[in-house]
Amino acid sequence: MSRVLIVMLIILAILVVALVVLYFLGRRLQKKQEATQEQMEAAKQSVTMLVIDKKMMRLKDAGLPQVVIDQTPKLMRRNKLPIVKAKVGPRIMTLVADSKIYDLIPVKKEIKAVVSGIYIMEVKGIRGPLEAPPQKKGFRAKIADRLGRAQSKAQKEIAAAEKNSSKKSGKKASGR
């Protein structure tokens, strides 16, 4: 067999082994996530709170207890998390929000939240529904919007130019 074929077979074998390892690691992590989700569901409680501030912050800068920082994986400590400062009863607490609901949380308003420990899982508005933030436009939508504006601007300029040229030709005809 040629060397190229042998090298390709070795690379293919390495890729197959890597995919099998990733498959089993993914299954194990999924089982862990399901177990923690069940624990959070068992410990959740509904709380009324006044949101003071919300920011995307690093775990160290958020002011969370040292026990929480120690329990998080080292790679996760560098990531920015959605942190919410809220007044729950007489105490001001620092909570971590779910990234899916972070945009729904209003600042300086009272909300009813489902909390598990220091983790905000769900939010509901006390006085009416919460306002969803406007959807961000994608790259393609932005380009299409710019193109539409440029076309309408060009059409207006063409119409203005035709109007001006018809006025000039009308003056020349009447002047003779």
Q: What is the mean pLDDT of the chain?
A: 89
The answer to pTM > 0.75 is no
89 secondary structure, DSSP code:
T
What's the pLDDT band for 21 if we cut at 50, 70, 90? very high
| Region for residue 113 given its phi and psi (left: phi exceeds 0; alpha: psi -120 to 50; beta: otherwise) | beta
Q: What is the pLDDT of residue 171?
A: 62
Residues 69, 83: contact at Cβ < 8 Å?
A: no
- Report residue 50 CA to chain centroid gap: 23
Percentage helix, strand, coil for the chain under 3-state DSSP, each rounded to 5 = 50, 25, 25
CA 61, 65, 66, 68 torsion-angle sign: negative
Give CA–CA dist 15/9, Å, rounded.
Answer: 10
